[in-house]
């Protein structure tokens, strides 16, 4: 089965720090996503990428950037962390194109606390 | 504006009963709709997918319906068990580049 691995399960950072959240998938999926999940708000799409070096903004990209230098790795960057970015961050991937299966595979999530 | 609404934030039912969860959407034209299960502290796990031209899909004790006229999907768990307790999320796909989720319904099945 597909494995999506997020580098940290829990992370505590200080306001103003630059934060990197890493995500790696092992099934050669083209599309990768970053969501944040907050109580009562569900999963909100931050950014997605449909190919190496390609990125598209989701619904809430402000304060975030992403990097996809290799197909298997999709990084989320908080340029200057703020307390309102305290959240659960979830990475996901999906196959597309001729092998599309329309099923998202998620990592276990990173609970980020910004103090 | 676009919205995906899961009508109940929480649903409590007795073991053995059928749980019915609702997902409504506005200003979307989904090619398919999916349901995911999420346990506390874990990422969501895919359960079922139903396409726009399908009315109903079943998998073991799970049944999903999709009404594109009403812009609604219903998710049923029959003969519910305490192990079914989790948060259930619906998601819309207009294409593989664009997956949006509802806020989820937290289901508790009491023995």
The predicted structure's pLDDT at residue B99:
79
What single-letter DSSP state applies at residue B15? T
Q: What is the dihedral of CA A44, A46, A48, A52, to 10 degrees?
A: -150
The predicted structure's pLDDT at residue A98:
52
Query: Rounded to an integer, what distance in angstroms lies between the CA atom of residue B24 and that of residue B71?
Result: 6
Count interface pairs A-B at CB distance under 8 A.
Answer: 63
Q: Which of A37, A41, A107, A112 to mutate to test the interface with B (most CBs of B within 10 A)?
A: A37
A13: β partners: A114
Contact of A4 with A74, CB cutoff 8 Å: no
The predicted structure's pLDDT at residue B9:
81
Query: Rounded to an integer, what distance in angstroms lies between the CA atom of residue A35 and that of residue A104?
Result: 12
Chain A stretch 48-87, residues whose beta carbon is closer than 8 A to a beta carbon of chain B: 48, 50, 56, 59
The predicted structure's pLDDT at residue A94:
86
Q: What is the pLDDT of residues A15-25, one digit of tens each?
A: 999 999 999 99
Q: What is the pLDDT of residues A54-109, one digit of tens each?
A: 999 998 999 999 999 999 999 999 999 999 999 999 999 988 755 555 788 999 99
Give the phi and the psi of residue A48 in degrees, each rounded to 5: -140, 165
Query: Rounded to an integer, what distance in angstroms lies between the CA atom of residue B30 and that of residue B95?
Result: 8
- pLDDT block averages, 10 residues each, chain B of length 111: 84 96 91 91 92 92 95 96 96 76 94 93
CB spacing of B104 vs A42 below 8 angstroms: yes
**Closest Cβ–Cβ partner in A33, A48, A104 for B46:** A104
The predicted structure's pLDDT at residue B69:
92
Q: Which residues are within 8 A (CB) of A64 and not within 5 positions of it... i.e. 6 or more apart?
A: A34, A46, A47, A76, A77, A78, A79
A113: β partners: A12
The predicted structure's pLDDT at residue A1:
66
User: What are the residues of chain B with a beta carbon less than 8 Å away from any beta carbon of chain A?
Assistant: 4, 6, 9, 32, 34, 36, 41-46, 49, 89, 91, 93, 96-104
- Pairs from A56-63 (Cβ < 8 Å, separation ≥ 24): A56/B97, A58/A33, A58/A34, A59/B100, A60/A36
Contact of A64 with A76, CB cutoff 8 Å: yes
**How far is B84 from chain A, CA to nearest CA, in Å?**
19
Q: What is the pLDDT of residues A21-48, one digit of tens each?
A: 999 999 888 889 999 999 888 899 999 9
Query: Rounded to an integer, what distance in angstroms lies between the CA atom of residue A29 and that of residue B68?
Result: 29
Please give the C-alpha separations between residue B71 and each of A79, B24, B33, B39, in angstroms, as whole numbers. Answer: 39, 6, 11, 27
The 10 Å CB-count burial string (b at 16+, else e) for B40-59 is eeebbebbbbbeeeeeebee
Q: What is the dihedral of CA A31, A57, A84, A44, to 10 degrees?
A: -60
């Amino acid at each position: 089965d597909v494995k999506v691995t997020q580098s940290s399960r829990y992370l505590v950072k200080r306001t103003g720090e630059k934060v990197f959240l890493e995500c790696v998938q092992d099934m050669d999926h083209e599309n990768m996503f970053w969501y944040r999940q907050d109580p009562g708000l569900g999963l909100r799409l931050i950014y997605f990428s449909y190919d190496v070096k390609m990125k598209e903004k989701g619904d809430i990209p402000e304060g975030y950037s992403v990097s996809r230098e290799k197909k298997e790795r999709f990084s989320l960057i908080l340029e200057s962390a703020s307390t309102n970015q305290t959240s659960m961050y979830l990475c996901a991937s999906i196959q597309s194109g001729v092998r599309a299966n329309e099923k998202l595979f998620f990592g276990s999530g990173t609970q980020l606390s910004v103090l | 504006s676009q919205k995906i609404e899961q009508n109940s934030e929480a649903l409590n039912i007795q073991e053995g009963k059928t749980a019915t969860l609702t997902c409504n959407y506005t200003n979307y034209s989904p090619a398919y709709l999916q349901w995911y299960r999420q346990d506390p502290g874990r990422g969501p796990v895919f359960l079922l997918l139903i396409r726009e031209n399908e009315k109903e899909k079943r998998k073991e004790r799970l049944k999903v319906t999709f009404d594109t006229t009403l812009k609604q999907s219903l998710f049923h768990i029959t003969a519910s068990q305490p192990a079914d307790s989790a948060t259930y999320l619906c998601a819309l796909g207009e294409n593989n580049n664009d997956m949006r989720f509802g806020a989820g319904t937290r289901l508790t099945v009491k023995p």
